[in-house]
Structure 1
Amino acid sequence: MPYFDIDEAMRYASDRIEADSTLDLGKLPAAEALATLEAALEERRAAGGSMIVRFQPAAPGSGETLFQPVGRWLLAQKRAGRLRRVSNLLELGAGFYIEF
Protein backbone atom coordinates (compact mmCIF):
# COMPACT_ATOMS: atom_id res chain seq x y z
CA MET A 1 0.00 0.00 0.00
CA PRO A 2 1.43 3.44 -0.90
CA TYR A 3 2.29 5.91 1.82
CA PHE A 4 -0.48 8.49 2.39
CA ASP A 5 0.85 11.90 3.41
CA ILE A 6 -1.94 13.67 5.29
CA ASP A 7 -0.20 17.06 5.02
CA GLU A 8 -0.09 16.80 1.23
CA ALA A 9 -3.74 15.73 1.11
CA MET A 10 -4.77 18.70 3.26
CA ARG A 11 -2.83 21.07 1.00
CA TYR A 12 -4.77 19.79 -2.02
CA ALA A 13 -8.09 20.10 -0.18
CA SER A 14 -7.43 23.60 1.10
CA ASP A 15 -8.76 26.77 -0.52
CA ARG A 16 -5.61 28.59 0.50
CA ILE A 17 -2.76 27.98 -1.91
CA GLU A 18 0.79 28.65 -0.84
CA ALA A 19 3.92 28.40 -2.93
CA ASP A 20 7.64 29.02 -2.54
CA SER A 21 7.54 31.82 -5.12
CA THR A 22 5.19 33.82 -7.33
CA LEU A 23 5.68 35.01 -10.89
CA ASP A 24 3.34 37.77 -12.05
CA LEU A 25 3.15 38.00 -15.83
CA GLY A 26 0.68 40.90 -15.65
CA LYS A 27 -0.38 42.09 -19.09
CA LEU A 28 2.68 40.88 -21.01
CA PRO A 29 2.17 39.77 -24.62
CA ALA A 30 2.07 35.98 -24.98
CA ALA A 31 5.55 35.60 -26.52
CA GLU A 32 7.20 37.75 -23.84
CA ALA A 33 5.22 36.03 -21.06
CA LEU A 34 6.33 32.58 -22.23
CA ALA A 35 9.98 33.66 -22.44
CA THR A 36 9.76 35.14 -18.92
CA LEU A 37 8.08 31.98 -17.63
CA GLU A 38 10.67 29.71 -19.24
CA ALA A 39 13.53 31.69 -17.67
CA ALA A 40 11.86 31.62 -14.25
CA LEU A 41 11.25 27.87 -14.44
CA GLU A 42 14.85 27.18 -15.46
CA GLU A 43 16.02 29.19 -12.48
CA ARG A 44 13.63 27.53 -9.99
CA ARG A 45 13.69 23.96 -11.31
CA ALA A 46 17.00 23.04 -9.66
CA ALA A 47 15.79 24.26 -6.27
CA GLY A 48 12.50 22.37 -6.54
CA GLY A 49 9.45 23.47 -4.62
CA SER A 50 6.43 25.25 -6.03
CA MET A 51 5.44 28.44 -7.82
CA ILE A 52 2.30 30.42 -8.54
CA VAL A 53 2.12 31.97 -12.01
CA ARG A 54 -0.32 34.87 -12.21
CA PHE A 55 -1.61 37.01 -15.07
CA GLN A 56 -4.48 39.42 -15.77
CA PRO A 57 -7.92 37.77 -15.62
CA ALA A 58 -10.37 38.07 -18.49
CA ALA A 59 -12.54 41.16 -18.53
CA PRO A 60 -15.08 42.47 -21.03
CA GLY A 61 -13.17 43.81 -24.02
CA SER A 62 -9.79 42.67 -22.71
CA GLY A 63 -9.12 40.29 -25.59
CA GLU A 64 -7.25 37.02 -25.24
CA THR A 65 -5.68 36.31 -21.86
CA LEU A 66 -2.55 34.30 -21.14
CA PHE A 67 -4.58 31.32 -19.90
CA GLN A 68 -4.35 29.25 -23.09
CA PRO A 69 -0.76 29.93 -24.16
CA VAL A 70 0.64 29.62 -20.63
CA GLY A 71 -1.53 26.60 -19.81
CA ARG A 72 -0.52 24.75 -22.98
CA TRP A 73 3.16 25.49 -22.38
CA LEU A 74 2.97 24.31 -18.75
CA LEU A 75 1.18 21.09 -19.76
CA ALA A 76 3.87 20.42 -22.36
CA GLN A 77 6.49 20.87 -19.62
CA LYS A 78 4.60 18.44 -17.38
CA ARG A 79 4.32 15.84 -20.16
CA ALA A 80 8.06 16.19 -20.75
CA GLY A 81 8.67 15.40 -17.06
CA ARG A 82 9.96 18.87 -16.13
CA LEU A 83 7.04 19.64 -13.78
CA ARG A 84 5.40 17.39 -11.23
CA ARG A 85 2.05 19.15 -10.94
CA VAL A 86 0.11 21.86 -12.80
CA SER A 87 -3.22 23.17 -11.47
CA ASN A 88 -5.27 26.14 -12.62
CA LEU A 89 -6.20 28.84 -10.14
CA LEU A 90 -9.32 30.14 -11.86
CA GLU A 91 -11.27 30.06 -8.61
CA LEU A 92 -8.69 32.38 -7.01
CA GLY A 93 -8.07 34.59 -10.05
CA ALA A 94 -6.11 34.00 -13.21
CA GLY A 95 -3.06 31.78 -12.89
CA PHE A 96 -1.53 28.37 -12.31
CA TYR A 97 0.04 26.52 -9.40
CA ILE A 98 3.03 24.38 -10.37
CA GLU A 99 5.32 21.98 -8.53
CA PHE A 100 8.80 21.02 -9.67
Structure 2
Amino acid sequence: MPHFEEFYADKLRGSLGVRDAESVLDLRNASREQAAASIQDMLERSRFAQSKTVAIRLAPPPEGGGETLFQPVGKALLEAKKRGWVDRLQTLPAQDGLGFYIALAGKPASKD
Protein backbone atom coordinates (compact mmCIF):
# COMPACT_ATOMS: atom_id res chain seq x y z
CA MET A 1 0.00 0.00 0.00
CA PRO A 2 1.59 3.29 -1.05
CA HIS A 3 1.90 6.20 1.36
CA PHE A 4 0.62 9.61 0.35
CA GLU A 5 1.48 13.07 1.53
CA GLU A 6 -1.33 14.39 3.77
CA PHE A 7 -2.48 16.84 1.05
CA TYR A 8 -3.10 14.00 -1.42
CA ALA A 9 -4.52 11.66 1.21
CA ASP A 10 -7.10 14.36 2.09
CA LYS A 11 -8.07 14.65 -1.57
CA LEU A 12 -8.58 10.88 -1.79
CA ARG A 13 -10.73 11.02 1.34
CA GLY A 14 -12.79 13.75 -0.31
CA SER A 15 -12.07 16.51 2.17
CA LEU A 16 -11.97 19.42 -0.23
CA GLY A 17 -11.86 22.70 1.63
CA VAL A 18 -11.29 26.44 1.49
CA ARG A 19 -7.91 26.16 -0.21
CA ASP A 20 -9.40 24.03 -3.00
CA ALA A 21 -12.36 26.31 -3.81
CA GLU A 22 -12.31 28.86 -6.61
CA SER A 23 -14.13 31.37 -4.38
CA VAL A 24 -15.21 31.75 -0.76
CA LEU A 25 -18.54 33.02 0.55
CA ASP A 26 -17.87 34.12 4.12
CA LEU A 27 -21.07 34.18 6.17
CA ARG A 28 -19.40 34.10 9.59
CA ASN A 29 -20.74 37.53 10.55
CA ALA A 30 -24.03 37.36 8.65
CA SER A 31 -27.50 37.28 10.16
CA ARG A 32 -29.87 34.49 9.18
CA GLU A 33 -31.65 36.82 6.70
CA GLN A 34 -28.38 38.06 5.17
CA ALA A 35 -27.11 34.49 4.81
CA ALA A 36 -30.33 33.33 3.14
CA ALA A 37 -30.21 36.27 0.71
CA SER A 38 -26.52 35.67 -0.09
CA ILE A 39 -27.06 31.96 -0.74
CA GLN A 40 -30.10 32.65 -2.94
CA ASP A 41 -28.21 35.33 -4.88
CA MET A 42 -25.22 33.01 -5.42
CA LEU A 43 -27.49 30.19 -6.61
CA GLU A 44 -29.49 32.42 -8.97
CA ARG A 45 -26.37 33.95 -10.50
CA SER A 46 -24.75 30.53 -10.91
CA ARG A 47 -27.52 29.43 -13.28
CA PHE A 48 -26.20 31.90 -15.89
CA ALA A 49 -22.45 31.51 -15.34
CA GLN A 50 -19.70 28.92 -15.72
CA SER A 51 -19.58 26.12 -13.18
CA LYS A 52 -17.28 26.80 -10.22
CA THR A 53 -16.48 25.62 -6.71
CA VAL A 54 -17.30 27.66 -3.62
CA ALA A 55 -16.40 27.27 0.03
CA ILE A 56 -19.11 28.65 2.31
CA ARG A 57 -17.80 29.59 5.75
CA LEU A 58 -20.12 29.74 8.75
CA ALA A 59 -19.58 30.91 12.33
CA PRO A 60 -19.14 28.20 14.96
CA PRO A 61 -21.73 27.91 17.72
CA PRO A 62 -21.34 30.50 20.48
CA GLU A 63 -19.70 29.41 23.74
CA GLY A 64 -22.15 27.44 25.80
CA GLY A 65 -24.02 26.31 22.67
CA GLY A 66 -26.60 27.91 20.48
CA GLU A 67 -27.94 28.10 16.97
CA THR A 68 -25.76 28.35 13.88
CA LEU A 69 -26.52 28.91 10.21
CA PHE A 70 -25.46 25.34 9.39
CA GLN A 71 -28.97 23.86 9.20
CA PRO A 72 -30.77 26.62 7.23
CA VAL A 73 -27.87 27.03 4.78
CA GLY A 74 -27.55 23.27 4.44
CA LYS A 75 -31.27 22.93 3.66
CA ALA A 76 -31.06 25.64 0.97
CA LEU A 77 -28.03 23.96 -0.61
CA LEU A 78 -29.67 20.53 -0.51
CA GLU A 79 -32.75 21.94 -2.25
CA ALA A 80 -30.47 23.51 -4.89
CA LYS A 81 -28.78 20.13 -5.37
CA LYS A 82 -32.17 18.50 -5.93
CA ARG A 83 -32.91 21.16 -8.58
CA GLY A 84 -29.61 20.45 -10.33
CA TRP A 85 -27.99 23.79 -9.49
CA VAL A 86 -25.34 22.16 -7.27
CA ASP A 87 -23.29 19.21 -8.51
CA ARG A 88 -21.36 18.51 -5.31
CA LEU A 89 -22.22 19.28 -1.70
CA GLN A 90 -20.10 18.37 1.30
CA THR A 91 -19.08 19.81 4.63
CA LEU A 92 -15.75 21.55 5.03
CA PRO A 93 -12.98 19.56 6.70
CA ALA A 94 -12.53 20.20 10.44
CA GLN A 95 -9.41 22.35 9.99
CA ASP A 96 -11.41 24.83 7.86
CA GLY A 97 -14.17 25.29 10.43
CA LEU A 98 -17.91 25.09 9.99
CA GLY A 99 -19.27 25.32 6.46
CA PHE A 100 -19.75 23.67 3.10
CA TYR A 101 -17.78 23.00 -0.08
CA ILE A 102 -19.99 23.04 -3.16
CA ALA A 103 -19.58 22.74 -6.90
CA LEU A 104 -22.12 24.91 -8.70
CA ALA A 105 -23.46 23.33 -11.89
CA GLY A 106 -23.46 26.57 -13.87
CA LYS A 107 -25.28 27.30 -17.09
CA PRO A 108 -26.40 24.15 -18.90
CA ALA A 109 -24.73 23.52 -22.24
CA SER A 110 -26.85 24.61 -25.17
CA LYS A 111 -28.15 21.89 -27.47
CA ASP A 112 -27.53 23.73 -30.74
Fold conserved (TM > 0.5)? yes
Give the Å deviation of 1:90.
5.4
**Please, which of 35, 51, 59 is the counterpart of residue 54 of structure 2?**
51
1:5 corresponds to which residue? none
Report the TM-score, using the length of structure 2 for normalisation: 0.70
Task: After superposition, give the CA deviation of every residue in 1:2-23 in whole Å (9 maximum; x if it has no partner).
Answer: xxxxxxxx73526553111000
Query: 2:12 & 2:74 partners in 1: Cα distance?
Result: 19
Alignment RMSD: 2.1
- The structure showing larger relative contact order (alpha-carbon pairs under 8 Å, at least 6 residues apart) is 2
Segment of structure 1 superposing worse, 38-47 or 21-30: 38-47
Count the aligned residue pairs: 91
The one-letter code sitting in structure 2 at the alignment partner of 1:35 is: A
In structure 2, what residue type is equivalent to 1:97? Y
Shift of 1:89: 1.5
Larger Rg: 2
* Correspondence 1:98 to 2:94: no
- Gapped regions of structure 2 (runs ≥ 5): 1-9, 105-112
* Alpha-carbon spacing, 1:86–1:32, altered in 2? closer, same or farther (3 Å): same
